[in-house]
Amino acid sequence: MCNYLGMRSRSLIALPLLIALAGCGGSSSSSSTVGLHPNVSFSTDVTSTFKDIDTYNSGAVTTGINDLSGPTTISGDASTVKVLANVNYRNGTGPFNGFVTITRSDSSALTLRLDGTATLDSGSGNTSFDAKLTVIAGSGTYATTTGAGSFTGLRTTALGGAVHMDVLLELH
């Protein structure tokens, strides 16, 4: 976790420099802002439809899978978000990974790789999420889509409970 925070701090310091360099000598096309401004964003509350979670050492270690799903709207289109996550937590905090699939009303689907960290606030019992998303593949209108993004989120209940997700994607 400390290495991750250190890397994030260095990224935040480097970002203004990258923004400044992106405007020097380049064109004013949108390609100079790739990765800086998401072109797709949405929020959703996903709930567990299936989970297989094991705990060890009096609850200090938690591993397993969680399958979550929820509705959202993307650019005015009703969509479904499905998350399949593997967790490996120590005292409620640790890495998780898996997949996020977004399915639009026209059946177009986009699948993203999910790599993140969950952090339990022992005072409130809430768990916050911070994850990187990378496009794997798509179908329909997403057939040739590439890109990446992030999701931040919050769960105010026990593992397996509803997770609020805020997703930002830069798709090409």
What span, in angstroms and rounded, lies between the C-alpha atoms of 155 and 102? 20
Same-domain pairing of 155 and 145: yes
* Residues 102 and 131 reside in one and the same domain: yes
Residues 81 and 161 in one domain: yes
Which DSSP symbol is given to 93?
A: B
Same domain, 92 and 106: yes
Residues found in the chain: 172
Q: In terms of domains, do 18 and 46 share one?
A: no
- State whether 43 and 28 are in the same domain: no
Judge if 98 and 24 occupy the same domain: no
Contacts of 90 (CB under 8 A, 6+ apart): 60, 61
Do residue 52 and residue 123 come from a single domain?
Answer: yes
Q: Write the pLDDT tens digit of every residue in 37-95.
A: 569 999 999 999 999 999 999 989 999 999 999 999 998 999 999 999 999 999 999 99
When divided into structural domains, the chain yields a total of 2
Query: Both 132 and 142 in a single domain?
Result: yes
Rg (CA), the chain: 18
CB 100 within 8 A of CB 81: yes
CA 7, distance to chain mean position in Å, is 18
CA proximity to 88, closest of 66, 70, 71, 72: 66
| Torsions phi, psi for 164 (to 5 deg) | -85, 130
Q: Is the pLDDT of residue 2 over 50?
A: no
pLDDT above 50: residue 158: yes
* Domain containing residue 80: CATH number: 2.40.160.20
Flag the least confident range among 32-36, 139-143, 168-172: 32-36
Q: What confidence tens digit (pLDDT) does each residue in 26-40 have?
A: 333 333 333 435 699
Rounded Cα distance between 68 and 164, Å, is 11
110, 164: one domain: yes
Q: Provide the domain limits for residue 31.
A: 1-36
